[in-house]
Each structure stands twice: as C-alpha cells, then as structure tokens.
Amino acid sequence: MNRIVAFGNPLLDTIVLMKDNTLLKKYNLKSDGQKEIAQNEMKSLMEDIKSYGKTMSAGGCAQNTLKVIQWLLRKQFSTTIFGAVGDDNEGQMLQDILKRDGVETNYVRQVNYPTGVTVALVNGTNRSLVACLGAAEVLSLADLTSNPDIMRQAENADLIYMEGFFLTKRTEVAHFVLNYCNSHNKKFAFNLSGEYMCKEEPEILKYFTERSDIIFGNKKEFEALCSIMKQRNVKDLLIYLSKSGKIVAMTNGANPVVCVGDGGKSYDKVIVPAMKDTEIVDTTGAGDSFVAGFLVGHLLKRSLVNCCELGCYAAQEIIKRRGCVVPEHPPNVLL
C-alpha cells in the first residue's frame, strides 16, 4: 500500500452562493482570487453571510487532495494529514469528516486558537476564497519532531506533499520537512498554491522550487515565479525546472495542461475535456483535485500524459458539485 503524508492547513470550509458582488466590494476581494484576512474581518464576514445559502465541508488544499486520492483509489492508499487545529468542535468535526473519507488525521490541538476556516464566495463559475487560518498557523518544529507517529509515518511515506500555504509562519517546520526529504531521498511534491505567495515570500518559494521533485501550479502562479527564478517566460521556466530533474505540471483552467519531465525532453500539452457550462457548479478544489489525480497516476507509475488525464478527470468530477466534496459514486476510471 502506498503512503502519502501531507502538510497543510486543516480548515473548515463554508461555501456561500452569491447573486452579486456586494461582499467582494465590501472586503476588497477579487471575483476569482484568494486572500487571508484577520480574525475580526472573518467574524464580520460570517455575520454578513448568515442570510445566504451555504454548505460546510472539510477543506484546506492538502486535505482536499488527500480525500480525492482516497476516492479515486477506493481508499486503497494510506493518507495522513499533519497540521494544527483548535481544541474545539470545528476541529473534531474536521477529524470526523476526513475519517469517513479515509484520511487519517495527525492534528496538533492548539488550546488558545480557533480551528481555521475558509469562506468560498461563489458567483456562477467564479469563486473568491477567503481564509482565516487561526490555529493552522500555530505550529512549531517541536510539535513535529516530538510527534513519534508523524515522524514514523514520514519515514515510511512513498511521497510527502506540501501546499504552499503551509509556508506562512511555519517556515522552520516547512524547511525541516523539505530538508528531511532531500537528505533521505524521499520524494517531495510542492504546490505553489497562490500567486500572492510568490510576491510575499519570494526567497522561500525559490528555495522550495529548487529542491522539490514535483511542482504544481496554475499559469498565473508560474508567471509570478518567472521573475523569482530569473526566467524570461513560463515555457523557459518549466524547461529549466525539468532539466534539473523535476516534474512540473501547470494548469490553466479549461486550456491545455502543460506537463514537463524527463530532463526537459518531455513537454506535453494535454487537452482538458470539454464541459458544458451547466455542468460546472463550483470550481472550489479543482486544482487540489487535479493534484490528487496526478499523484495517483505518478505513484502507479503511469505516463505523465496519463497523470494529467487523471488529474483532469478528478477536477471535473469535483467541480460538478458544491464544494470539494467527493462523489458518492465510484470513480469511472481504470487504475
């Protein structure tokens, strides 16, 4: 059985259906963007959405990826999420939801902080993601190294995955995990996660990009990464990264996925299957689900093209429903 250990922000998601952009204007949000806000702002936002239609689910990039992996493989992988939650009902709710999805949780409970939450403000096919990380950001190196279970799970993992958002305020922990993987010949997969991360943490992003084995991101994120890596354009950047032995997968909405590997010799453009607008319910979790499909293909030693195809399949299944919620029906792919 393959084992994946992931490091990320354990969050409780609230998906809100909007009819206009009133809330976006009030909180200075982009219609298809993502932003972290302070706890007082989140409290105000939660008051504003009381009258809106909404649903709740377990969220956070890494958690989304793990639960979609388990859906694709009918819970035949071993997947563990490591992170911090509050000692509250929301933290327990996350643990219970993920257990049903086949994801093991290894949470550090922070007594003085609330469990992190996100709000996805959805208007048609666009969604603005707002996060208040709370306890998720309060994680020390001691929390990791003194946890014998997570160290054992990391040692036995076939691959370790980290979302870019985990770098925020946990740089020491993130560096330890990356350096552990590099020194123990452990595969490390990394998601750029957000365009703003490239702007706010350029040196850290450069460090992780140079030392990761697999790198995920969308076109806007790789465009932002170009200046950090001193590359003229995205194509040059992807080839440059691949020549150092990395696998790089770049999504671009409904446009072809670009995947580069094999030391720069392989540069594939994979067509994303067409979808009707009426099939798209909510794009929340699309990127996380693509990563899930790709990693499943990678660990099953499939071609890079097939990895991308599995990623597209997973993403399109998830965006047919509200929130990053795994379907009740089994996956319609042969693995």
Higher pLDDT among residues 171 and 19, named by residue: 171
pLDDT of residue 158: 95
Predicted confidence (pLDDT) at residue 255 exceeds the cutoff of 90: yes
Q: What is the gyration radius of the CA atoms in the chain, in angstroms?
A: 19
How does pLDDT run across 28-72, given as a tens digit for each residue?
999 888 888 888 899 899 899 988 888 888 999 999 999 999 999
pLDDT of residue 279: 93
Predicted confidence (pLDDT) at residue 264 exceeds the cutoff of 80: no
Q: Which whole number is the average pLDDT over 304-327?
A: 94
> What distance separates the 2 farthest-apart alpha carbons in the chain?
54
- Measured on CA atoms in the order 151, 153, 159, 164, is the torsion positive or negative? negative
Q: Which whole number is the average pLDDT over 299-311?
A: 96
Q: Do 160 and 6 contact (CB within 8 A), yes or no?
A: yes
With cut-offs at 50, 70 and 90, classify the pLDDT of residue 10. Answer: very high
pLDDT of residue 305: 96
pLDDT of residue 156: 94
pLDDT of residue 85: 97
Q: Do 293 and 328 contact (CB within 8 A), yes or no?
A: no
CATH class, 3-10+59-114+134-318 region? alpha beta
Q: Which of 13, 101, 282, 288 is catalytic?
A: 288
> Residue 330 has which token pair?
């089994």
- Measured on CA atoms in the order 143, 145, 148, 154, is the torsion positive or negative? positive
pLDDT of residue 318: 95
How does pLDDT run across 133-169, given as a tens digit for each residue?
999 999 999 999 999 999 999 999 999 999 999 998 9
Hey, what's the torsion of the CAs at 152, 157, 163, 166, to 10 degrees? Answer: 10
Predicted confidence (pLDDT) at residue 125 exceeds the cutoff of 90: no
How does pLDDT run across 175-229, given as a tens digit for each residue?
999 999 999 999 999 999 888 888 888 999 999 999 999 999 999 999 999 999 9
Q: Which whole number is the average pLDDT over 114-129?
A: 86
pLDDT of residue 313: 97
How does pLDDT run across 74-102, given as a tens digit for each residue?
998 999 999 999 999 889 989 999 999 99
How far CA 11 is from CA of 165, 170, 196, in Å, comes to 12, 16, 19
Distance between CA atoms of residues 177 and 212, nearest Å: 11
Quick check: is 20 catalytic? no
Average pLDDT of the chain to the nearest whole number: 92
pLDDT of residue 31: 87
Sorted by where each begins, the domain ranges of the chain are: 3-10+59-114+134-318
